[in-house]
Structure 1
Amino acid sequence: MKFYLAVLVCLFALCFPNRSEADLNLYVKADATPDVQGTKEKPFRTINDARDAIRKARQQGQLKAGDVVTVNIEPGVYEFSSSLKFDKTDGGTKKNPVVYRATESGTVRLQGGVTLDAALFKAVTDENILKRIPEAARDHVRVYNLTPVSRGAFAEFKPSYRGVPTGPWLYMDGAPMTLARWPNADADNAGWASFTKAIDKGLPDPKAKDPAKQKLHPGSFVFDDPRPARWNLDQGVWLLGYWTHDWSDEAIRVADYDPEKKIIKLAAPHNYGIMGGTWGAKERRFFALNALEELDAPGEWYLDREKMQLYFYPTKSLDAATIVLARLTAPLLKIEGARHMRFEGLNIEFSHGSGIDLRNTEGIEIVGCVIANLGSSGISVVGENNTIRSCDLFNLGTRGISLSGGDRKQLKRANNRAINNHIHDYGLFQRTYAPGIYAHGCGQIVENNCIHDAPHNAILYGGNENRFERNEIYRVVMETGDSGAFYTGRDWTSQGNLLRHNFIHNLGGGDASHVNTMGVYLDDCDSGDTVEGNVFYRSGRAIMIGGGRDNPILNNLVLDCAIGLHVDSRGMTWKQWNNPKSAGWNLEERAEKMNYKNPPWSTRYPHLAKIMSDSPREPLYNPIERNVFVNCTKEVCHLGGQVKQLLDKFEIKNNLAVNTTGAPSGIGMTKDLKGFTNLEGSSTKPIPLGLTRNSSGKLTLEQDPKLLTPKIAFEPIPFDKIGLYQDEFRRELPVRRSQD
């Protein structure tokens, strides 16, 4: 450190005599020579060196917090076996943040794994191993001895897990490889096996003679396919399944297989049991993983954890391949307590933990970065006034971006921002409730993001005063049910959230008959959300109010959805409502924790303040105004439970139900529902409402104000402002992958 300090002192003295106007530029290069000085000619070897030199200079008074400091990182791969950490000593000021930037965007990779030498992959010669590999794959599979790069034997998977499996994980040419599995997921197969009969659901049975069965225990089921007889269960095979509900996935080890009775017994219990009572499909689904006997397709791999032998069926010749074994489970970049730093143009990749973790930070900017190929989440933010902008996040084991902060009780906004980010192919390991963006706390801002291709939610949120505007969402909720692109639920206090001018389209199961996927899902009496000016297209049930209150539904355009709007009264009939026991929803208790009867809550949310004396079970104060429902194939508005008996308490007015071509069947209309006007076109004079493509192939929205404004005072939606935009970091927009 004395050497670094001397270098910096020399730089300051020779180059920057007036410190109030000086700019300090340090340089880092992965393959720098040992004679490091932090200059462009003699750069530091590691980012840690630059950080430590800055810290030391500040300690000695040679560098002040407000001085302009830029760390220029040259192209290269920077491997980390532990987190790159910054703390409260490393930041700058709002005017002059400390900047860590790639000199060429996209060429600097911070990597939490080891790059494997492709030349060291060898043909498999062990006869015992060859017998276990499917015959057609034997000549293609290669083996790599990991002993020289490992730190001892690799840990085994847990008997059951939800989310990130025990590492490491293998990547080739910028994509995650598949742990050997069955069935394979390909163009001809969705990759799931199914069963319909449980032998032991694994749920507690108070009458059981066996004490072990009086509590939650491992279940078993009949599986007619003889495939499990091939697997070496002693070495461990896991089944990742939706065991009871389509919104609860878990991987559980196989304990035993009886080939005569065709019964699979699991090694650990599942919280909801095996086929423990679901209103979804009768068939339950799973796929097997970690089976050497299933190493039969390009891209699959298997690790003998004890002997440290990696078996791999490459997708192409290894001669020019880049292969990385991701091992780091801690965040690659961890920033705690720092203020005013900026990270530009970096690739945070190939790790088995999360990418970036911000804790108690303020004014941190992550801009123009790639955060990808991670076992866990992309970016997690807890703090105030932090910004994630124009980043690409993909190939993530769990969620994309998490925003939290602010003071809910005092309704103090955090103003953390996720803006203009492209988030896709996430939830690879945790298949449910691992959203593209998670927002909680108070006052998060989510704007102009594009989120797509995931098994479950796009945006999962709670808390207060969060704003979601101009986001494009498609091809999410692709393998699950009873969920939505936007999802929140079971909370009276989730007030003040705004969902405005978003484009939600082509959701999983969003065909003309599917009603178990929602565009916006306000579940289980959730209250206080404004849904305004959004466009829904082929989204199952476009908007669902599950018994909640104070949810204005205003000026939305719903196109080609099975059901336009769903409102029910589950709070009036479900026993979970406000139940003080642990199995209940505890709605009032949550409100009491916010001191909801007193300011600022009582003044901001007056209906909530008096809820317990105002028919709290009823779904009141849900104004439905100026919405247009076009070509809904089942129902325009589904009113469930006792809602029809409460319509005199509802404010429903100036809505349109449209059949664009006057089709005699297959289009739902509202008949005599108050607050709705039916409008029909004809095959020769169709009503100009919907999505079309212009001459360049771009989707455009027909929303003729001459038609809609006189009818219902509909306000045009700024469709061309929705989604990603070009800036200094996002110079090209990605091609949309949805099917229209």
Structure 2
Amino acid sequence: MFNRSHPFWFITFVALVCISAHSQDHARVEIHVSSDADPGGDGSVRAPFRSLVEARDWIRQSRVSGDLPTGQAVTVLVGSGEYVFDSTFELSSEDSGSSGAAVIYRAEKRLDARLLGGITLSPKSFEPVSDPEILNRLDPQIRQEIRVISLPGPRGEFQQLGDAYRSVPTAPWLYIDGMPMQLARWPNANADNEGWASFSKVIDTGMANPLAKNKEQQEKHPGSFVFDDPRLERWQVDQGVWLRGYWTHDWADEVIRVASYNSDEKIITLAAPHAYGIMSGTWGQASRRFYALNVLEELDQPGEWYLDRKRNKLYLYPTDQFKSASIVLATLSEPLIRVKNAKHLRFEGLSIGYGHGDGMVLQATEHVEVAGCEIANLARTGIRVSGGENTVRSCHLFNLGTSGISISGGDRHTLTPANNLAVNNHIHHYGRFQRTYAPGIGVSGCGQVVRNNSIHDAPHNAVLYGGNEHLFERNEIYRVVMETGDAGAFYSGRDWTSQGNTLRHNYIHHLGAGDAKHVNTMGVYLDDCDCGDTIEGNVFYRAGRAIMIGGGRSNPVINNLVVDCPIGLHIDSRGMTWEHWNSAKHSGWNLEEKAQALNYQKPPWSDRYPQLAMIMSDSPREPLYNPIHRNVFVNITSQVWSRDKNVDALMDKFEIENNLVVNTRGDEAAIAMAKDQWEGFRNLAGSPAAPIELGFVDADNQDFSLRDDARLRKELPAFEPIPMHQIGLYIDPAFQ
């Protein structure tokens, strides 16, 4: 993590214009911005501009007038302080730099130039609650603790929450001392992120029934279920109560308003249908779970808040440090910064946050770099990037409502890479609003590189990707898929054409348990016939079902180390058993149609992916061409290789060689071994008296590097040591 006490690496020039006597190419204009500047500044040290907008406009005007020559390098030095945005800071093609002469927006003191998308509230403005109606709705034991503030709302009141939302609630959101506060909920969350209510009896799934007599039942409609708890009788449902639930699948969350509660029959009826119905079938827990949000009666824990959107009154249960707290209400629902069709820009050392939209959007940009920035406390994605040759480097992203970084670009039809780079970024505590399919890093298009990132503490995926020729290497991923099931740290799926991607030298560990009975948390999850990805040289430690290939082909599994996982490798034949495999009836499948859209049987696709080009004449439903070479499985507790009967029948079509299965203490009851008939797997077992020591440098502290004299080198000479010390974050010398 970054240390705010470290000095920035560069020397700040104080002259307005610094011109090298030796090369006009290295001349650089410096413009100064200060949050407490007087109006009418000229951008000099003594009379800085007051905002980034003024600095941008000065650059534009100076270029038009000719005072700023074409190709002139410019640095906008942003002084310490807070810069409140009530609209997006926009940059376009006219704000571009040029090769060797970028336009740079740089904090004078790293992370002390704070760009905010909200309003600051004073703790002194919060008062005790005196309204008898409100007091009567609060728990008598804590009602004297609750404070209220009247807000300067937009045009009289804040917009109401919708009947249902999957992603981000309507603005605003409250942050105190750099942390998002919890909208009053029940049950309360605890340190283990538990705090769910559950139900197991459904009255109406809400799914369409064409044979129903009632016309409303013939279409998809709001569902209902039985929930017997006297607490609900306290709630004023007509004032608005929302439930966040995993209503059917552990990978599909949604927030839905309660339409009514029948206290006699104990039935909750929802106000909107859920896409998959209510408890209409799933792989995972039999019961379903939810918690209630926006319930004034449940304002009962420090840090919780409630917003009366009609009266613009915010109620808060203060924390102990409230009197000296920094309080921000995020209101800006648009990105704080948007760069469109621009080239050769750089953003360095800025602190960007407290908005109710995205942090930064780089749209169709080239050679734009975001480096050493802190991007946090946002309702949506930290940074969205599209275009080519862009870089997000050494940034710290956290407390995000959806994703950390989203990267796209390149041309899949021609397999032209974008060469966008996400490197050395620390991304954590994301997916706070959208709990599923809001990854730490999302990748699409062709030819992105994701390297040396640390991604952790999230409910669902760490990396969600599709497309071609992406490289994911030396990333450390842990404590993800903590709230969900049938999910993977790395996830891609349902596409034959997502080919040429490489996952190598990543360390994936300590994932959420999911449904332990089914082991439905995965390290790498190639779902629904996904094809053409290489999984090589990765370390999986306590990572659930470490590698899962769901019916796909051409996915080499090579030289991986799997330690202390319930299941080491899974390959199934769902393409052979599910009607979905190439069906237009099932959403998102149409595997052959997706391939035809990319002209997959002609160059460059047929040259680059010859097995894909022949797939329709080569048993397309079978999970073929998945070589399994040089993998090491240590202390696997349930199944070394999980597979179905169809895969058993195809064993002669698999390339399997030089795999080692190790039971370090010979524990027959708790440790799985390879079956004798598996050619290409060799068992090695120790005993309690003489446990096998494979030669890891420090396995107890998760260093699975091999010593020179490691026994593993002798038992499996073909195994290539994995460079553990190169994985994860490194010290960027520019930001020490």
Q: Report the CA distance between 1:698 and its aligned residue.
A: 5.4
AA in 2 matched with 1:623: P
Between the aligned partners of 2:19 and 2:607, the Cα distance in structure 1 is 60
Look up the match of 1:643: 647
Contact 1:512–1:560 under 8 Å retained in 2: no
1:439–1:531: structure 2 CA closer, same or farther, 3 Å change rule?
same
Structure 1 residue 464 and structure 2 residue 472: aligned? no
Pairing partner for 2:151 from 142, 146, 153: 146
Instruction: Output one character per residue of 1:16-43: Cα deviation in whole Å (capped at 9) or x when no partner.
Output: 9996553211000011012411011111
Between the aligned partners of 2:470 and 2:549, the Cα distance in structure 1 is 18
Contact 2:705–2:723 under 8 Å retained in 1: no
Structure 1 residue 715 and structure 2 residue 720: aligned? yes
Pairing partner for 1:363 from 361, 367, 375: 367
Aligned positions, number: 719
DSSP-derived class of the 2:248 partner: coil
Q: Report the CA distance between 1:683 and its aligned residue.
A: 2.7
Between the aligned partners of 1:341 and 1:188, the Cα distance in structure 2 is 42
Between the aligned partners of 2:228 and 2:497, the Cα distance in structure 1 is 48
Q: Report the CA distance between 1:715 and its aligned residue.
A: 0.3
Pairing partner for 1:51 from 56, 60, 69: 56
TM-score (norm 2): 0.95
Pairing partner for 2:600 from 596, 600, 603: 596
AA in 2 matched with 1:487: Y
1:718–1:127: structure 2 CA closer, same or farther, 3 Å change rule?
same
Within 5 Å, which residues of 2 pair with 1:338-377?
Answer: 338-377=342-381
Within 5 Å, which residues of 2 pair with 1:304-703?
Answer: 304-509=308-513, 515-583=519-587, 585-672=589-676, 673-689=678-694, 693=698, 699-703=702-706
Unaligned residue ranges in structure 1 (runs of 5+) = 1-9, 732-740
Between the aligned partners of 1:576 and 1:301, the Cα distance in structure 2 is 45
1:96–1:13: structure 2 CA closer, same or farther, 3 Å change rule?
closer
Q: Report the CA distance between 1:596 and its aligned residue.
A: 0.4
Instruction: Output one character per residue of 1:155-193: Cα deviation in whole Å (capped at 9) or x when no partner.
Output: 101101101001100000000001111000014871100
Look up the match of 1:41: 46
Contact 1:520–1:543 under 8 Å retained in 2: yes
Instruction: Output one character per residue of 1:640-666: Cα deviation in whole Å (capped at 9) or x when no partner.
Output: 240000000000000000011222321
Between the aligned partners of 2:261 and 2:106, the Cα distance in structure 1 is 54
Between the aligned partners of 1:214 and 1:556, the Cα distance in structure 2 is 51
1:11–1:553: structure 2 CA closer, same or farther, 3 Å change rule?
closer
Pairing partner for 1:114 from 99, 113, 119: 119
Contact 2:110–2:350 under 8 Å retained in 1: yes
Contact 2:658–2:682 under 8 Å retained in 1: yes
AA in 2 matched with 1:195: F
1:692–1:156: structure 2 CA closer, same or farther, 3 Å change rule?
farther
AA in 2 matched with 1:221: F
DSSP-derived class of the 2:94 partner: coil
AA in 2 matched with 1:502: N
1:505–1:189: structure 2 CA closer, same or farther, 3 Å change rule?
closer
Pairing partner for 1:70 from 70, 75, 82: 75
Structure 1 residue 101 and structure 2 residue 89: aligned? no
Range moving further from structure 2, 680-689 or 606-615: 680-689
Contact 1:219–1:269 under 8 Å retained in 2: yes
Structure 1 residue 261 and structure 2 residue 227: aligned? no
Pairing partner for 1:79 from 76, 84, 94: 84
Structure 1 residue 198 and structure 2 residue 228: aligned? no
Contact 1:153–1:307 under 8 Å retained in 2: yes
AA in 1 matched with 2:423: I
Pairing partner for 1:272 from 272, 276, 288: 276
Between the aligned partners of 2:620 and 2:672, the Cα distance in structure 1 is 32
Range moving further from structure 2, 549-558 or 113-122: 113-122
Q: Report the CA distance between 1:690 and its aligned residue.
A: 7.8
Contact 1:357–1:379 under 8 Å retained in 2: yes
Q: Report the CA distance between 1:438 and its aligned residue.
A: 0.3
Instruction: Output one character per residue of 1:484-521: Cα deviation in whole Å (capped at 9) or x when no partner.
Output: 00000000000000000000000000798661100000
Look up the match of 1:207: 211
Range moving further from structure 2, 32-41 or 184-193: 184-193
Between the aligned partners of 2:30 and 2:193, the Cα distance in structure 1 is 54
Pairing partner for 1:291 from 269, 291, 295: 295
Q: Report the CA distance between 1:702 and its aligned residue.
A: 4.7
Structure 1 residue 26 and structure 2 residue 31: aligned? yes
DSSP-derived class of the 2:363 partner: strand
Q: Report the CA distance between 1:639 and its aligned residue.
A: 1.6
AA in 2 matched with 1:119: K
AA in 1 matched with 2:613: A
1:21–1:690: structure 2 CA closer, same or farther, 3 Å change rule?
closer
AA in 2 matched with 1:685: A
Look up the match of 2:11: none
Between the aligned partners of 2:193 and 2:534, the Cα distance in structure 1 is 40
Within 5 Å, which residues of 2 pair with 1:156-235?
Answer: 156-187=160-191, 190-235=194-239
DSSP-derived class of the 2:511 partner: coil
AA in 1 matched with 2:218: Q
1:690–1:119: structure 2 CA closer, same or farther, 3 Å change rule?
farther
Between the aligned partners of 1:286 and 1:477, the Cα distance in structure 2 is 17
Structure 1 vs Structure 2 CA RMSD: 1.9
Contact 1:661–1:681 under 8 Å retained in 2: yes
Look up the match of 1:734: none
1:21–1:209: structure 2 CA closer, same or farther, 3 Å change rule?
closer
AA in 1 matched with 2:422: A
Between the aligned partners of 1:155 and 1:20, the Cα distance in structure 2 is 51
Instruction: Output one character per residue of 1:326-361: Cα deviation in whole Å (capped at 9) or x when no partner.
Output: 000111110000001000000111000010001000
Between the aligned partners of 1:691 and 1:168, the Cα distance in structure 2 is 50
1:652–1:12: structure 2 CA closer, same or farther, 3 Å change rule?
closer
Pairing partner for 1:237 from 230, 234, 241: 241
Look up the match of 2:3: none
Q: Report the CA distance between 1:210 and its aligned residue.
A: 1.2
Contact 1:691–1:699 under 8 Å retained in 2: no
Q: Report the CA distance between 1:687 and its aligned residue.
A: 2.2
Between the aligned partners of 2:193 and 2:511, the Cα distance in structure 1 is 19
1:583–1:375: structure 2 CA closer, same or farther, 3 Å change rule?
closer
Q: Identity, % of aligned pairs?
A: 60
Q: Report the CA distance between 1:150 and its aligned residue.
A: 3.8
Between the aligned partners of 1:298 and 1:92, the Cα distance in structure 2 is 48
Range moving further from structure 2, 315-324 or 654-663: 315-324
AA in 2 matched with 1:46: S
Contact 2:165–2:254 under 8 Å retained in 1: yes
DSSP-derived class of the 1:89 partner: helix
Between the aligned partners of 2:257 and 2:695, the Cα distance in structure 1 is 49
Look up the match of 2:129: 124
Unaligned residue ranges in structure 2 (runs of 5+) = 1-14
Contact 1:510–1:561 under 8 Å retained in 2: no
DSSP-derived class of the 1:685 partner: coil
TM-score (norm 1): 0.94
1:511–1:555: structure 2 CA closer, same or farther, 3 Å change rule?
farther
1:591–1:17: structure 2 CA closer, same or farther, 3 Å change rule?
closer
Between the aligned partners of 1:220 and 1:512, the Cα distance in structure 2 is 28
DSSP-derived class of the 2:93 partner: coil
1:65–1:231: structure 2 CA closer, same or farther, 3 Å change rule?
farther
